[in-house]
Amino acid sequence: MTMGFEEITTHLKQRFPMLMVDRILEIELGKSIKALKNVTSNEIQFPGHFPGYPIMPGVLIVEAIGQCASILFSRTTGQGQHQGEVLVLGSISEMRFFVPVLPGHTMILDVTILKMMPGVALVEGIATVDGTMVAKGKLSFGRKVF
């Protein structure tokens, strides 16, 4: 199962400039998701991070992994997409950044569910560029009703 940009926006509450997933390449409900993020030079963070040597901020790589996890969780459980609820980040652990991500790169994001209970999940995310691991870590998140 794949998803294009329009369908992705129906599963995420984030919008420009915080939408970090361009396409879903594969999704196996309850197990894993593989997505693509095109890193372009006209993104809002690059003039300041860093002038003369633009690098994708690590926090935005984590955000991309989290958005993939949110799509996987909501597609699997049906939670987190309704009005008055949102999926929120609970923790980040063992997150490592290995290689800078630069404008022109295409990040592939692989997210696997490690544990899922009603309303919460723990996932592991790996980001790669051209087959090279650029970041890896674990995220937990839960459903918040407001």
Q: Whats the size of the chain, residue-wise? A: 146
pLDDT score, position 13: 86
Give the range of the structural domain holding residue 135, as residue numbers without chain letter.
5-145
Active site residue 49: yes
Q: To which residue do tokens 């692989």 refer?
A: 110
**Nearest CA-CA partner of 121 in 57, 59, 82, 65:** 65
Show the 3-state SS of 42-71.
CCCCCCCCCCCCCCCCHHHHHHHHHHHHHH
Checking if the pLDDT of 80 tops 90, the result is no
Checking if the pLDDT of 145 tops 90, the result is no
- pLDDT tens-place string over residues 91-136: 999 999 999 999 999 999 999 999 999 889 999 999 999 999 999 9
pLDDT score, position 83: 81
Total number of domains in the chain: 1
In this structure, are residues 84 and 145 in contact, taking their beta carbons and an 8 Å threshold? yes
Q: What is the CATH number of the domain that holds 120?
A: 3.10.129.10
